[in-house]
Structure 1
Amino acid sequence: MADTSSAQPVFRFAPSPNGLLHLGHALSAMLNHDMAKASGGRFLLRIEDIDQTRCRPEFETAISTDLAWLGLGWERPVRRQSDHLERYASALQRLNDMGLVYPSALSRGEIKTAVADAEAKGQDWPRDPDGVPLYPGRERDLAADARNAIITGGKPHTWRLDMKEAVLAASALPLTWQETGRGPDGETGLITADPAAWGDVILSRSDAPSSYHLSVVVDDALQGITQVVRGRDLYHATAVHRLLQRLLDLPEPVYHHHRLLLGADGRKLSKSNRDTGISAFREAGRTPADIRALIL
């Protein structure tokens, strides 16, 4: 594991090659690059390409082209998550050995149906900070033979964190993080983490060997990341990341969550919405200085 005790700050920009970068990505990349330069630190690029059904080589090429056009330089070699799947599997196995994960074959449709049935009966179903209904927890306490049947039965399944037990295992010290940016309500400074608000989060799926939550904390530790600068939409997820760092004995970075750029509809810019890419601004004759003036 990389040593993060060095006085030199280490920043990273970590996009997924599943679409073209937009102005929101440019803001995050520029902030990471500029903060690294101002502090005498390092700036790394990480390609988060675990989801092989959506990630494509041409988008990775476009990421490098866009960042270079913006005038950003980064260290080589670039880390690609798809080259390090064994690292995530090892972390998951460690949590399994601690009795903190379990297999779940309940599909999204089945979860949706369970929630709809409960709400139709007047029950208030708990939701995570993103507004998504929490997993019902039906498979959390299955006997060993039932768990093995899920694993060997051939049906797609996930591995979920037993949040209640995980929080208990990490409870020796208060779970917090240092925030140098701002949360959705202006939170800054020492923040108390509340991972339980997310319920039993997914750490791995049959079609993706690691979730964002697990892979990001493993990668940040292995790359010696000391400063995590990212969008405010990930502010609440930091609680889950701090929990996993505690459980896996990983170092704690300083977090800085920046504002989000919104589209005309008031929603954050998104690849899935095909919001205007950086390449489109370049092709329209805009300059990197124009982009900086537009977003910084």
Structure 2
Amino acid sequence: MKKDISIFEFPFNLGLTKKEHETEPGVKKLPDWLRKLGLHQKINPKNIFRLDGPEYAMDYDEETGVKNPYAIIEYAKKQSGLILKNYQKDTFHLMLGGDCSILIGSALALKQLGNYGLFYLDGHTDYIPPRLSPSGGVAGMDLAIVSGLGHEKLTNIDHLKPYFSEEHIFCLGNAETDDEEYVEQIQNSDIHYFDLYNLRKNGFRKTSEDFLKMVEEKNLDGFFIHFDVDVLNDKIMPAVDSRMEDGIDYNNLKDILQPLIENEKCFGMEITILDPDYDPNGEFTKPFVNNLIQILQ
């Protein structure tokens, strides 16, 4: 990569509902885990910034219909502030989560910088209102929230709604197509939606190129990539909170990400949901780190 890289660590897990066997979701350990397995050393970032998350809780809020909304809003504001204070032009900003709700803080920052597009690569759409969520976890609704669907307290922080316009969003990789009501939500939106079947049909690199064409045609100030590792095939990445069998492989990932990362309008990328507790020996994370390095170089 020609650009310098800055790493932002966001070890946050309040968007997830813990499983019965967990004391708390392990995704907050991801930045330290990736550092331990050599990501930071191999990337040699220009800067490393960090914002620790609050203690884990599962506080359901009747008004918003989600868990931990006030802690999530507070963290998103601090996260946005940290990004705005430390972002630099001609730098690739790599955000290490955390769960998917860290997208809200990234989105708040980008909205204040201009008109940005979002490339949303995820094994789920995360585009549902609270009434369709069995858990109330914001990590399963983050795409909805950043595009304006959900309670005003989350969708309209600092009167910035929507953080991304739906027509400037590509959502791709969803392998969970059996729940019709979930899928109908996004199909009835203005988001450019490619489930896993249509992503394969359209072509991995071509879908990214179609997105870049949209960025140019709309004259956007830039764009951001959300990469939830549960979009990867379960055989190569089972260390996630919501597993599905099907998914893309590392060659597909490279075809998708390289044209985006090489584009001058790419602000950066966030990585979410990889849970070190489900990969204690690094069996799946080590190949992940090696493939990520190849894509970023």
**Whose Rg is larger?**
1
TM-score normalised by the chain length of structure 1: 0.30
| More relative contact order, 1 or 2 (CA 8 Å, 6+ apart) | 1
